[in-house]
Structure 1
Amino acid sequence: MKISHRRLGGAVAAFGVALTALTACGSGGDSADGTVELSFLVDNSETTLAQANAVADAFNATSTDVKVEVETRPQGTEGDNVVKTRLSTGDMSDVFWYPSGSLLQALNPAQSIADLTGDPVLKDVEEGFLPVVSQDAKVYGVPIGSGTGGGILYNRKVYAELGLQVPKTWAEFTANNDKIKAAGKTAVISTFKDSWSSQLLVLADFYNVQNAAPTFAQDYTANKAKFATTPAALTGFAHLNEVNAKGYQNKGFGSATVDQGMKLLLSGEGAHFPMLTFTLPPLLKDNPEAATDLGFFGVPGTDPAKAGATIWEPAAVYAAKDTEHLAEAKKFMAFVASPAGIDAIKDISAPTGPYRVKGAKLPDDAMQAVKDIQGYIDAGLTAPALEYLSPVKGPSLEQITVAVGSGLTPPAEGAGQYDKDVEKQAEQLGLAGW
């Protein structure tokens, strides 16, 4: 398994597959027999394309008057530019796959995407998903595929061997780490050569931030709150520093890769790995034991009664505002956001987290870590990652967290550096208050 990463939200969609050229541009139309043909634009990553084809084929098998044709675009910045250009020129496909959350805001959805507010197409969509496909109280998308948990992957065999319980507070987590270290194992795996992975103890702590400061995302976006001056937000940097100061990390963590970290975790030489669960399915082919040996828990906070997890939400399917076939597009979107649509996808792709569709169930053979995340969902103990609620994310966070997690920068200083890092991006976005 080879994983590369620039931004956490991008990793959930990208899976490290190389870019290829845009193909099959154009929008749908009517065929000679009167069937409406819808065009469905998706990125060309292997996983996305497989899921898109699966759900399109399943829909086509049940529909006599509407057929969906999948077309592809590049991933990354190039692909983003394709989406924005086609929306602005009125050349967008009828429906398209795109991230949920703050990236949606850059598409100016009120002018470019069909409004689904109050539409029956949303009847099976979980309420908790709607905020990440909304702007100004208008809803624009439906979920496709599964979400991803951000938190702590752990080796369940090590926990059983040492008689440990899943921690519900950071103090309990620290106590577990002390016992793991005393047993001669790595307590917390760090893989800072892949610098994106250094961000997890900060970004996956957002569930706890939101509990302590419910308006942080809005205030942060409006430049009324900062990481360095909000105690709950500063805590993630402090945790990152503590892991280093207490000697919990693996030897050579500064040059270790995520691949190496996963091997350390699977072998039981390491017990905890702050990570996103999208990294798990690629392990299963050569390491089927990963499905049962690895579990998941959210970054622990201070209140055991509120122990929860941060979720990287699924991508969404949207309809272009100027599509000539909006009714047919909604028919397809309703299928995507239904248990039948989820079934089509899960037959060819192992879920990396929860589905956001009512009545959609995880397969019986889902990975234990994914079942653990579903437990948090069922208990109502989750929050979307900050990047789904705010467009403000500076480019240097992973370098800052590497320095904090390596003991080179104090946590308060690192948080202050990040507060400065986001200023230029916020100004470029034209956000009020900056």
Structure 2
Amino acid sequence: MRFRPRASGLALLAVCSLTLAACSAGSLGSSSDSGSGSVEITYLIGNQDQDMKEAQQLVKDFTAKNAGISIKIETRPAGTEGDNIVKTRLSTGDMPEVFNYNTGSLFQAIAPQKNLVSLSDQPYVGDLDDNFKNTVTADGQVYGVPVGGFMGGAVLYNIGVYKKLGLTPPKTWAEFMANSAKIKAAGGGVAPVIQTYGETWTAQLFVLGDFHNVAAAEPDFAEKYTKNQAKYATSAAAVKGFEHTEAVHDAGLENKDFASAKLPDGLKMLATGTGAQYPILSGVVANMIATYPDAAKNVGLFALPGDDASKNGLTVWTPGANYIPKTATGAKLDAAKKFLAFVASPDGCKSQNTAGAPTGPYAVKGCTLPADVPQAIKDMQPYLDKPGGSSLALEFVSPVKGPSLSQITVEVGSGIRKAKDGAARYDEDVKKQAQQLGLAGW
């Protein structure tokens, strides 16, 4: 299972539980008057509702300022089918002038050096967030611009519960457990830590959202992990995510129905104050607010804490990106570059704000969040602004991820399996994928 960074509404459930990729076939038509421009390019996007809303708004606002260019939008399906379409269209030279696709390991899989136009010479590249740039860089060249905002693997918390008990957001795991113990002692039917194992992907957050702390303690973990030189079970830093999952269960901090509860149940508990803290992806905030509008002000966010308060920071999932294939040439290439420059600008961010509430801070310097953005999303910004205050999720810096992590973390978080055993089992789980990828050392 692989988390993906962009989603809204109910589509987030699918995004978080399987890989979201690209492509297929319907055309939304031109977003500028037919024939109004001397150059027409095509923009290929995912077929999720928010993807289409963002694309339509970006095209509308861009073409309003660039009368000589018109843009036709095409859509494509998600999942493996979309991956295959992107790869096929690139290999056959049939890719539209601009297309939206994943960042990180899936970006590397489409042979960017061979298939994509480098953007490293574009002036806006210096304004792109370094975390994002790392996910669209190959052999030192930058190939993509971000669409959408970051998502954080963090803890959403009920601000009212925290205020009532005089608690402050923790910066260390010891402080988190102390806060949780105070919430439990206060009673009132408030679950200190919400867990929703009825949707198994949600059980992974104590492990995946902890990677900033792993990277802070062992900066070369991802590189060694990819080479089969580091393991979750034998890394003092990496095993802690499993240990934290176990500790929360052993301390009796979970909601009583943790084994069967699902995401909507967890969001209801958080929004209504019957649950205090929920380790989850920040992208679920849009779902919560759609049903519980007051949660926009009543729910905050803090990063999953580690052992060192001075290194406290947020694990982030980067947005998808727009790319230009090498088959784009001449006036069409120039038009595509202009469009990407617009997307990677404050005006492009404003356009995306118009299309819908952002899932998190943008990856472009100078872009600001709307004043009415939910408090939990606002709480992400300081981590991204602080040098060393955020780190990419492991999936963006290593292609190694096994399919059974969610089931293993459910077992650990349910008391069925001990943390060290779960970590060792996951180390075995990743072998098959690593071997399929042909990685050295496996």
- For 1:318-333, what aligned pairs fall within 5 Å after superposition? 318-324=323-329, 325-333=332-340
User: Is the partner of 2:391 in helix, strand or coil?
Assistant: strand
Task: Specify which of 220, 223, 241 is matched with residue 246 of structure 2.
Answer: 241
Corresponding letter in the other structure for 1:432: A
Number of residues paired by the alignment? 426
Task: Specify which of 59, 83, 105 is matched with residue 86 of structure 2.
Answer: 83
Task: Specify which of 362, 367, 371 is matched with residue 360 of structure 1.
Answer: 367
Using a 3 Å threshold, how does the CA distance of structure 1 residues 32 and 259 change in structure 2: closer, same or farther?
closer
Aligned: 1:252 with 2:249: no
Aligned partner of 1:372 in structure 2 is 379
Aligned: 1:117 with 2:114: no
Using a 3 Å threshold, how does the CA distance of structure 1 residues 238 and 86 change in structure 2: closer, same or farther?
same
Corresponding letter in the other structure for 1:201: F
Could you tell me how far 1:359 is from its partner in structure 2? 0.5
Could you tell me how far 1:222 is from its partner in structure 2? 1.5
Distance across 1 between alignment mates of 2:392 and 2:434:
20
Deviations 1:11-41 (A, max 9, x none): 64852579996213999xxx86761111111
Task: Specify which of 46, 52, 73 is matched with residue 43 of structure 1.
Answer: 46
Is the Cα contact below 8 Å between 1:195 and 1:399 reproduced in 2? yes
Using a 3 Å threshold, how does the CA distance of structure 1 residues 67 and 123 change in structure 2: closer, same or farther?
farther
- For the aligned residue pairs, the C-alpha RMSD in angstroms reads 2.0
Aligned partner of 1:225 in structure 2 is 230
Deviations 1:272-323 (A, max 9, x none): 0000011111222332111110000011011112211111111111111211
Aligned partner of 1:71 in structure 2 is 74
Corresponding letter in the other structure for 1:387: E
Aligned: 1:388 with 2:396: yes
Distance across 2 between alignment mates of 1:350 and 1:24:
25
Task: Specify which of 99, 105, 111 is matched with residue 108 of structure 1.
Answer: 111
Deviations 1:35-59 (A, max 9, x none): 1111111110011111111111111
Which residues of structure 1 form unaligned runs of 5+?
1-5
Task: Specify which of 407, 413, 416 is matched with residue 405 of structure 1.
Answer: 413
Corresponding letter in the other structure for 2:87: K
Using a 3 Å threshold, how does the CA distance of structure 1 residues 83 and 20 change in structure 2: closer, same or farther?
closer
Distance across 1 between alignment mates of 2:229 and 2:406:
23
User: Is the partner of 1:323 in helix, strand or coil?
Assistant: coil
Aligned partner of 1:142 in structure 2 is 145
Is the Cα contact below 8 Å between 1:121 and 1:333 reproduced in 2? no
Could you tell me how far 1:7 is from its partner in structure 2? 3.1
State the identity as a percent: 48
Distance across 2 between alignment mates of 1:379 and 1:33:
45
Corresponding letter in the other structure for 1:335: F
TM-score normalized by the length of structure 1: 0.94
Distance across 1 between alignment mates of 2:394 and 2:354:
31
TM-score normalized by the length of structure 2: 0.92
Task: Specify which of 61, 64, 78 is matched with residue 61 of structure 1.
Answer: 64
Aligned: 1:308 with 2:305: no
Corresponding letter in the other structure for 1:298: A
Distance across 2 between alignment mates of 1:33 and 1:11:
32
Distance across 2 between alignment mates of 1:38 and 1:160:
53
Deviations 1:67-112 (A, max 9, x none): 2211100112211111111111111111111121121111111111
Distance across 2 between alignment mates of 1:246 and 1:192:
17
Distance across 1 between alignment mates of 2:139 and 2:221:
18
Aligned: 1:177 with 2:180: yes
Aligned partner of 1:7 in structure 2 is 2
Distance across 2 between alignment mates of 1:126 and 1:271:
32
